[in-house]
């Protein structure tokens, strides 16, 4: 069983070979980071059966959507997943149609309902740009600098019903340099190393 817990962590840590062509992955997210995670997963031989991202903005698709559409991967663009606290029926049906066994959320600004998070056989993993439990929620990199932290980093964790509170799968950190900015930390470490982490290269 790959779901949360020490056994799951050990099996994930065996590396990408275990997962290659084994699991059906649903990628939920957006942005260049989401696109890079998607592209690298595909190059490594993983099976992405569906991409769930944000709608086009000003007639232009999100980078993740563009990459997946180019590959012929099913792409779903939902402005929202729930209304008045309940999952939208059509959205839930579209999600279930891909038959995902694991959700991967590299960067997601939308609220994903727990019935979707818990739906796959092996649950959901999320990337967060802080060394949890520090700086849960939004603007984590900003808070790392505001609080004068000596270390910055990211966490990949199993999603639960809390705000970035699920069991930690892996963490990576780097020193915060004197002249660091949000962009500097992101481009130097969080972006490139985060992509590697989301490829299950622990």
pLDDT at 19: 53
Number of domains comprising the chain? 2
CA 85 to chain centre: 22
Residue 135, C-beta contacts closer than 8 angstroms, at least 6 positions apart: 143, 144, 147
Q: What is the largest CA-CA distance in the chain?
A: 50
pLDDT at 45: 86
Query: Could you read off the pLDDT tens digit of each residue along the chain, which spans 202 residues?
Result: 344 443 444 444 434 444 555 689 999 999 999 999 999 999 988 899 999 999 999 999 999 999 999 999 999 999 999 999 899 999 999 999 999 999 999 999 899 999 999 999 999 999 999 999 999 999 999 999 999 999 999 999 999 888 888 999 999 999 999 999 999 999 999 999 999 998 864 3
Q: Is 159 left (phi over 0), alpha (psi -120 to 50) or beta?
A: beta
Would residue 148 count as lying in a domain? yes
Which helix (H) or strand (E) segment holds residue 124: the answer is: strand 124-128
* Closest by CA position to 170, among listed 1, 2, 20, 8: 8
User: CA–CA separation, 103 vs 157, rounded Å?
Assistant: 12
Domain containing 80 equals 23-122
pLDDT at 199: 82
Residue by residue, DSSP assigns 30-57 as -HHHHHHHHHHHHHTT-EEEEEEEPPPB
pTM for the whole thing? Answer: 0.86
Residues 46 and 74 in one domain: yes
Length of the chain: 202
Q: Report in angstroms the alpha-carbon separations of 139 from 91, 106, 166, 172, 179.
A: 28, 15, 19, 18, 19
Would residue 62 count as lying in a domain? yes
Q: Record the tokens describing residue 120, joined without a space.
A: 């796959």
pLDDT at 14: 39
Would residue 63 count as lying in a domain? yes
pLDDT at 44: 87
Residues 106 and 184 in one domain: no
3-state DSSP assignment of residue 181: coil
Residues 64 and 140 in one domain: no
């Amino acid at each position: 069983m790959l779901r949360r817990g020490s056994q799951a962590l050990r099996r994930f840590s065996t590396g990408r070979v275990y997962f290659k062509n084994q699991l059906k992955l649903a990628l939920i997210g957006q942005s260049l980071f989401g696109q890079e995670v998607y592209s690298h997963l595909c190059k490594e031989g993983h099976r992405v059966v569906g991409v769930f991202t944000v709608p086009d903005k000003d007639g232009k698709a999100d980078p993740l959507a563009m990459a997946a559409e180019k590959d012929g991967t099913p792409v779903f663009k939902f402005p929202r997943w729930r209304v008045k606290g309940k999952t939208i029926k059509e959205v839930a049906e579209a999600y279930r149609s891909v038959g995902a066994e694991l959700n991967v959320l590299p960067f997601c600004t939308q609220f994903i309902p727990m019935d979707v998070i818990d739906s796959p056989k092996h649950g959901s993993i999320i990337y967060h740009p802080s060394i949890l439990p520090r700086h849960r929620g939004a603007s984590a990199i900003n808070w790392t600098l505001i609080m004068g932290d000596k270390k910055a980093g990211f966490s990949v964790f199993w999603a639960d019903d809390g705000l970035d509170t699920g069991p930690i799968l892996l963490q990576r950190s780097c020193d915060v340099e004197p002249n660091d900015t949000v962009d500097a930390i992101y481009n130097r470490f969080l972006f490139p190393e985060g992509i590697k982490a989301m490829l299950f290269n622990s």
